[in-house]
């Protein structure tokens, strides 16, 4: 069995301002650094052998801190950049809710049917998650690995690994510095069809 410690990066100024970050590279702020320090304390005895992170700034920065503090090697996690919110990036969630109430409501209820202007559909992000996780599960069949992944991609990863639903993707954006354990039997995780 493979145990994955799924870690959300620490928060940024955009998170504090309730702005949609998406693929924008915003560094951790002081609160985010404190969240990562707490995460280090919480996961230090979990037996993490290797840590993965995409190249986006908050996840990479969080992973580098965790890796350095725990003496764990950090590897790049390909194709796991955050969801591209297009023109919504940089806007506050309240602005999207106010300017586009119908689209905002639809994003809450059926996010798979909404494409932010000049952004990507959730299905595209799910395809990236499936491809990245399939590759990772071929490489790791057992042991304990860590993954630092921003929301909503972390929810998509959890949903894929557990064959469940990702949940409310707006609410998931608030889980900075949190982590969870996902136990995976790689042979039971669905393999994407070509």
pLDDT value, residue 191:
55
pLDDT value, residue 163:
83
| CA triple 93-152-144, angle to 5 deg | 150
193: exposed, middle or buried (Cβ count in 10 Å: 0-12, 13-18, 19+)? exposed
Task: Report yes or no: 153 and 82 within 8 Å, Cβ to Cβ.
Answer: yes
Question: Domain boundaries in the chain?
Answer: 2-188
pLDDT value, residue 107:
82
Q: Could you tell me which residues come within 8 angstroms of residue 189 by beta carbon, excluding any fewer than 6 positions away?
A: 133, 137, 160, 161, 163
Dihedral sign for Cα 82, 84, 85, 86, please.
Answer: positive
Q: Is the bond into 152 cis (omega within 30 degrees of 0)?
A: yes
pLDDT value, residue 167:
62
Q: What is the CATH number of domain 2-188?
A: 3.40.50.1240
Backbone angles phi, psi at 182, to 5 degrees: -125, 110
Structure tokens at 190: 């669905």
- Show the DSSP H helices in the chain as ranges: 13-16, 30-43, 57-70, 93-99, 101-109, 122-139, 153-162, 169-172
* pLDDT tens-digit profile, the chain (194 residues): 999 999 999 999 999 999 999 999 999 999 999 999 999 999 999 999 999 999 999 999 999 999 999 999 999 998 899 999 999 999 998 999 999 899 888 888 888 898 988 999 989 999 999 999 999 999 999 999 999 999 889 989 998 998 877 666 655 556 788 999 999 986 666 555 55
pLDDT value, residue 164:
78
pLDDT value, residue 189:
60
């Amino acid at each position: 069995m493979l145990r994955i410690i799924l870690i959300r990066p620490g928060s940024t100024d955009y998170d504090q301002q309730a702005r949609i970050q998406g693929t924008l590279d915003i560094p951790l702020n002081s609160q985010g650094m404190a969240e990562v320090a707490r995460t280090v304390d919480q996961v230090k005895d979990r037996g993490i052998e290797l840590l993965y992170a995409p190249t986006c700034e908050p996840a990479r920065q969080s992973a580098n801190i965790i890796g350095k503090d725990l003496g764990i090697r950090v590897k790049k996690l390909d194709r796991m950049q955050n969801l591209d919110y297009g023109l919504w990036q940089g806007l506050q969630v309240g602005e999207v809710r106010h300017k586009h109430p119908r689209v905002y409501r639809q994003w809450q209820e059926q996010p798979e049917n909404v494409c932010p202007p000049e952004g990507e559909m959730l299905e595209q992000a799910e395809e990236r998650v499936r491809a990245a996780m399939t590759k990772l599960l071929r490489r790791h069949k057992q042991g304990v690995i860590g993954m630092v992944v921003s929301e909503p991609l972390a929810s998509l990863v959890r949903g894929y690994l557990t064959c469940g639903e990702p949940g409310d993707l707006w609410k998931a954006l608030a889980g900075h510095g949190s982590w969870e354990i996902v136990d995976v039997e790689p042979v039971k995780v669905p393999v994407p069809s070509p």
